[in-house]
Amino acid sequence: MTSFPKKRKKLISDNGIDTRYRERIYTCPKCRDTGFIEREDGPAEKCGCFKKRESEILLEESGMSGILEKNNFSVMRTDMMDEDTKAHFLKAADLCRDFIASFDTDYRNILFCGTVGTGKSFLSACIASELLASYHSVVYMSAKTLFDNLADAQFAKGDAAAAAAIRDRIYNCDLLIIDDLGTEMTNSFVGTELFTIINERFNARKPVIISTNLELPLLRDRYSDRIFSRITGSYDVLKMCGPDLRSVI
C-alpha cells in the first residue's frame, strides 16, 4: 500500500505542480531577502542585492538612470565612424571590457579624456550598466552633481541624514564614476574634496572612472599637482578622439 505522503507527492506532480510549492522562494537566495549576510567573525554585511538596489535608487535620484538604459554595449554602433576613429574606439571598448572582466580581481582606474562626443560618457555608462547587472554598487554622477551633493553633506543643507548617506556611498561604493570633470564650478572646496575622494579610494583600492573634456595640462592647471600626479600615476589614461559621435552611437 502506498503511503499517504507518497500518494500526495504523486498527486501533486501528476497535476503539474512543483513539489517544492510549500517552500519559501526567495528573490535573493544568498541573503533570503533580508538584505544582509551574517558573518561569523563580525557584524552582518550588506548583501549584493541590497547594494545594487541602493545604487539604483541613487542613480534614479541623480537623474542618471536613463543614461545607463540608453548607453550600453548592446547599442554600441561603429558603422558611422571612419576607420581610424573606429579602430581607436574599439580598442578603448576592449579595455573597458577587460576592466569589467577583471573588476573583482584587479584594482584599476580609468581616465577618459578627449573632446565632446568621442564616447567617454558612453563607455563609462557601458561599464556602469554591466557592473550593476552583476550586483556591484556603482555611483555614476556628473562632477557638478557630485560636488553639489558633497557640499550639501558638508554644510548640512536640506536632509542631513540623506546627505551623509550619499557621502558614504560616494566614498564606499564598489565603483565611482565622475562624469564631465571640469564642467563644475571649481573652487577650493572642490579641489580638496576631489583629492580626498581620489586619495581615500586609492588607499582603499576602490576603483574610480573619470571622464573629462580637459586636456591633461589643463587638468593640472585646473586642480593641483598632487591631484594630477595621483591620477596620471594610478589611472589608465584613455584618450578618445574623432568627430562628435553623439549622433551615431
**Nearer to Zn ion (CB atom), residue 28 or residue 76:** 28
- If you search the block for the grid coordinates 543614461, which residue do you land on? 67
Contacts of 225 (CB under 8 A, 6+ apart): none
Nearest distance from C-beta of residue 194 to Zn ion, angstroms = 33
Q: Which of 47, 59, 150, 163 binds Zn ion (CB under 5 A)?
A: 47
* Residue 31 binding Zn ion, by CB under 5 A: yes
Q: Which of 17, 46, 49, 248 binds Zn ion (CB under 5 A)?
A: 49
Query: C-alpha angle with apex 93: 61 to 89, nearest 5 degrees?
Result: 110
* Residue 70 binding Zn ion, by CB under 5 A: no
* Residue 52 binding Zn ion, by CB under 5 A: no
Q: Which of 6, 7, 10, 30 binds Zn ion (CB under 5 A)?
A: 30
* Residue 81 binding Zn ion, by CB under 5 A: no
* CA–CA gap between residue 93 and residue 235 (Å, rounded): 16
Stretch of 10-18, 46-54, 135-143, 227-235 contacting Zn ion, by CB under 5 A: 46-54
In the chain, where does DSSP find H-type helix? 4-14, 48-62, 65-70, 83-101, 120-133, 143-154, 160-172, 188-203, 216-222, 225-234
* Residue 28 binding Zn ion, by CB under 5 A: yes
**Nearer to Zn ion (CB atom), residue 49 or residue 59:** 49
* Residue 208 binding Zn ion, by CB under 5 A: no
How far are the Cα atoms of 6, 38, 84, 215 from residue 31, in angstroms, in the given order? 32, 8, 48, 46
* CA–CA gap between residue 54 and residue 90 (Å, rounded): 32
* Residue 51 binding Zn ion, by CB under 5 A: no
Residues that bind Zn ion (CB under 5 A): 28, 30-31, 47, 49
